[in-house]
Amino acid sequence: MSAKKTERLLNLVICLLHTRRHLSVQEIRELVPGYDQGSEDAFRRMFERDKEELRDLGIPLETGTDTAAHDDELGYRIARRDYELPPISLEPDEAAALGLAARLWQSAPLAGATGSALLKLRAAGVDAPDSGGALEPRVGAGEPAFEACLAAVTEGRSLLFDYRASGRPTPEQRRVDPWGVVWWHGRWYVVGHDTARADVRVFRLSRIVGAATAVGEAGTVQVPAETDLRALVARTAGEEPSRSASVRVRAGAAWALRREATSVTPDGEGWDRLEVGYSDPERFADRVTGYAADVVVRGPEEAREAVVRRLAALTEEPVS
Q: What is the CATH number of the domain that holds 38?
A: 1.10.10
Low-confidence ranges of the chain (pLDDT < 70): 1-3, 66-72, 81-142, 166-168, 185-186, 237-241, 313-320
Q: Is residue 135 part of a domain?
A: no
Residue 104 domain flag: no
Question: Which element (helix H / strand E) includes 305?
Answer: helix 301-315
Cα 203 to Cα 176: distance, rounded to the nearest angstrom: 10
pLDDT computed for residue 70 by the predictor? 47
Give the 3-state DSSP-derived string for 110-163, with helices as H, strands as E and coil as C: CHHHHHHHHHHHHHCCCCCCCCCCCCCCCCCCCCCCHHHHHHHHHHCCEEEEEE
Say which CATH number the domain at 164 has: 2.30.30
What's residue 178's pLDDT? 94
153 and 230 part of one domain: yes
Give the CA radius of gyration of the chain.
24
Kindly state whether residue 258 falls inside one of the protein's structural domains.
yes
Q: Are residues 152 and 225 part of one domain?
A: yes
Residues 307 and 206 in one domain: no
In a domain, 137, yes or no: no
Does the residue 35 lie in any domain? yes
Query: CA–CA separation, 198 vs 203, rounded Å?
Result: 15
Residue-number span of the structural domain to which 285 is assigned: 243-315
Say if residue 207 is in the same domain as residue 150.
yes
Regarding whether 117 and 31 lie in a shared domain, the answer is yes
Return d(Cα 283, Cα 305) in angstroms, integer: 12
Q: Is residue 129 part of a domain?
A: no
- In this structure, is residue 171 part of a structural domain? yes
Q: For strands 187-194 and 172-184, give the pairing.
A: antiparallel
14 & 119 share domain: yes
Are 255 and 200 members of one domain?
A: no
Report residue 41: phi and psi, to 5°. Answer: -65, -40
Same domain, 302 and 228: no
Q: What is the pLDDT of residue 76?
A: 85
Same domain? For 55 and 84 the reply is yes
Q: Of the residues 236, 254, 272, which one is the last residue of a structural domain?
A: 236
Q: Which of 236, 256, 288 is the last residue of a domain?
A: 236
**Segments of the chain assigned E as strands:** 61-64, 75-78, 158-163, 172-184, 187-194, 199-204, 208-215, 243-250, 263-266, 271-278, 295-299
Shared domain for 176 and 118, answered yes or no, is no
CB contact burial 5-19 (16+ within 10 A = b; e otherwise): eebbbbbbbbbbbbb
* Distinct helix (H) and strand (E) counts, the chain: 11, 11
- 230 plus 281 within the same structural domain: no
In a domain? residue 212? yes
Predicted local distance difference test score (pLDDT) of residue 320 = 43
226 with 262, same domain?
A: no
Distance, CA of 301 to CA of 48 (rounded, Å) = 63
- Count of domains in the chain? 3
pLDDT at 140: 46
Structure confidence at residue 175 (pLDDT)? 94
Looking at 188, 216, 236, the residue that finishes a domain is 236
Q: Which residues pair with 248 in a beta bridge?
A: 273, 296
Q: Are 281 and 257 in contact (CB under 8 A)?
A: no
